[in-house]
């Protein structure tokens, strides 16, 4: 009779643990479903070192793309009207399902003056981890005008 009590005792002790979050295989499904519903947003500032005010009507643009796919289109893009001063805030919103595990992602940015001439740009794509960033700082460099 004693040997029958031990399995029941163990069952009574460990059964309530399966209801705790993370102790049940269903907990992972719930977190993935919640993750898929939320929009992914990256926020940051772009700036440049030169002490030059931008002309009124200038526009800044920042975008993110998949660096592992050379033909990829931007996954997210933001265009901002510039008031002449830096830093310039930006925000990229995207569907988290567009981010693939194991892929690398990069941000690029540019500032154009009102006539469309490129004035500042990131010298190369800045690699980012979309799920691990709180605030992104992009440093743009002056683009020399073409003669």
Q: What is the pLDDT of residues 12-46, one digit of tens each?
A: 434 444 444 444 444 444 444 444 445 788 999 99
**CA dist., res. 27 & res. 53, Å (int):** 52
Token pair 């194991």 is found at: 102
- Measure CA 77 to chain center: 11
Is a pLDDT exceeding 70 seen at residue 127? yes
Output the pTM of the full model: 0.70
Query: What's the confidence (pLDDT) of residue 70?
Result: 86
Query: What's the confidence (pLDDT) of residue 38?
Result: 57
Q: 76 in helix, strand or coil?
A: strand
Comparing CA positions, the residue from 111, 107, 123 lying closest to residue 52 is 111
Pairing of strands 118-121, 88-94: unpaired
């Amino acid at each position: 009779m004693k040997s029958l009590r031990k399995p029941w005792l163990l069952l009574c002790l460990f059964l309530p643990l399966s209801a705790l979050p993370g102790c049940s295989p269903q907990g992972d499904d719930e977190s993935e479903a919640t993750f898929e519903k939320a929009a992914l947003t990256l926020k940051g500032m772009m700036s440049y070192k030169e002490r030059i005010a931008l002309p009124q009507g200038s526009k800044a643009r920042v975008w993110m793309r998949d660096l592992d796919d050379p033909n990829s289109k931007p996954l997210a893009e933001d265009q901002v009207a510039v008031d002449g001063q830096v830093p310039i805030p930006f925000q990229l919103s995207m569907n988290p399902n567009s981010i693939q595990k194991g892929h690398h992602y990069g941000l690029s940015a540019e500032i154009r003056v009102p006539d469309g001439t490129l004035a500042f740009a990131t010298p190369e794509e800045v690699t980012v981890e979309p799920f691990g960033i709180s605030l992104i700082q992009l440093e743009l460099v002056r683009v020399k005008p073409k003669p």
